[in-house]
Structure 1
Amino acid sequence: MPLAFLTADRAFDQADDVALPFDDRDQWRRPYRPGPWRVGAAALLLLLASYMLLAAMIIALADAPSAGAACALGALAVIVASMRLLRVGTWVSARGVRRVGFFLTRTVPWSSVASVRTTQQPVRWLGLPRTVQGQAVVLVPGQGKPLTDPLMTSHNGDFLGRPEAFDRAADTLEAWAYEYQPAR
């Protein structure tokens, strides 16, 4: 079964001379692979869910079907959370840029984007309150005031310990913005 989120880096490896190597640009896609921290956390959550499902089966076989169903629903919630964790990130298409968070998704059309740029600034380490000096890709809307949250940072779950992947993803986001923002 092909995994769509793994094709991003392969497309860039095969087409180094093309900034936007995708044929169908109307489809939302992430211009980078999910990082090892994000994938590892999702894998641990799925492992926890498997133990919860096994416990639900044992509880249901021990003549407590309502408690087993509650445990199975908890496992289902953990599975949904792990899948949502894998979807978190920055997605692009010809329609705009989308910042997918765990609870909230925000889409900005290219027509209202003034620029996308990489800056040096304090960034959150793995999304925790602790900040470190790093790089962030920020989106500046047409009004000129940047959004409060950066599109991606060099110390989030996708790029911690992978500076080359961050540079490639930042360049790709800037290329999408350059191609699709309105002519000035």
Structure 2
Amino acid sequence: MPLPFLTADRAFDTADDAALPYDDRDRWRRPYRPGPWRVGAAAILLLLASFVLFAGVVIAATATLSSAGAVFGIALVVVGCALRMLRTGVWVSARGLRHVAFLTTRTTPWEQVASVRTVQQPVRWLGLPRTVQGQALLLVRRGRAAETLPPLLTSHNADFLGRDPLAFDRAADSVEAWADEYRRS
């Protein structure tokens, strides 16, 4: 079964002269691969879901079906959380920039984007309250006075912690290239 979210970064590695190497630009794409922390946490959640599903089968064989249904429902919620965790990140298309968080999704059309830039600043380590010095990719909107938006990407989030430092630079450059291309048109 092909997993297209694992091959997103390779398209940018192989295209030297094209900043936007995709043919179908209307499709939402993540211009980088999910990081090891995000994939590891999702794998642990899926492992937990397998144990809960096994417990549901045992409960269905030995107890009432309503209690087994509740356990199966819990397993579905855990699987849904794992899938949503893999889906979080920054997605781009010809229509705009989409920042997918665990519970929310914020889409900004390219017409509202004033700039996308990388800055040095204190960033959260894996989204926890602890901050470290790192890089962040910030979105500045047009017409929004002093609105504080969370960073799109950081060098210490679950996608880039523990990876080659150039991975964050490639991802930030890719998102900036999409922004430069579509803000002009």
Please give the TM-score of this superposition, normalised by the length of structure 1: 0.96
CA contact (8 A) 1:43 1:82 kept: yes
For 1:18 and 1:61, locate their aligned partners in 2 and report how far apart those are by CA, in whole Å. 58
Q: Which residue of 1 aligns with 2:166?
A: 164
Deviation, 1:182, is 3.8
CA offsets, 1:134-163, max 9 Å, x none?
Answer: 100001111364642011100000001221
Letter in 2 for 1:148: L
Deviation, 1:9, is 1.4
Q: Secondary structure at the match of 1:179?
A: helix
Q: Secondary structure at the match of 1:29?
A: coil
For 2:8 and 2:147, locate their aligned partners in 1 and report how far apart those are by CA, in whole Å. 27
CA contact (8 A) 1:139 1:146 kept: no
Question: Tell me, which stretches of 5 or more residues in structure 1 are unaligned?
Answer: none
For 2:159 and 2:184, locate their aligned partners in 1 and report how far apart those are by CA, in whole Å. 30
Question: Tell me, which stretches of 5 or more residues in structure 2 are unaligned?
Answer: none
For 2:24 and 2:40, locate their aligned partners in 1 and report how far apart those are by CA, in whole Å. 30
CA contact (8 A) 2:139 2:149 kept: no
Q: 1:159 to 1:167 in 2, by over 3 A?
A: same
Please give the TM-score of this superposition, normalised by the length of structure 2: 0.95
CA contact (8 A) 2:36 2:162 kept: no
For 2:112 and 2:25, locate their aligned partners in 1 and report how far apart those are by CA, in whole Å. 18
For 2:27 and 2:63, locate their aligned partners in 1 and report how far apart those are by CA, in whole Å. 48
Q: How many residues in Structure 1 have an aligned counterpart in Structure 2?
A: 183
CA contact (8 A) 2:97 2:107 kept: yes
Letter in 2 for 1:130: R
Letter in 2 for 1:151: L
The root-mean-square deviation of aligned C-alpha atoms, in Å, is: 1.2
Moved more, 130-139 or 140-149: 140-149
Letter in 2 for 1:66: S
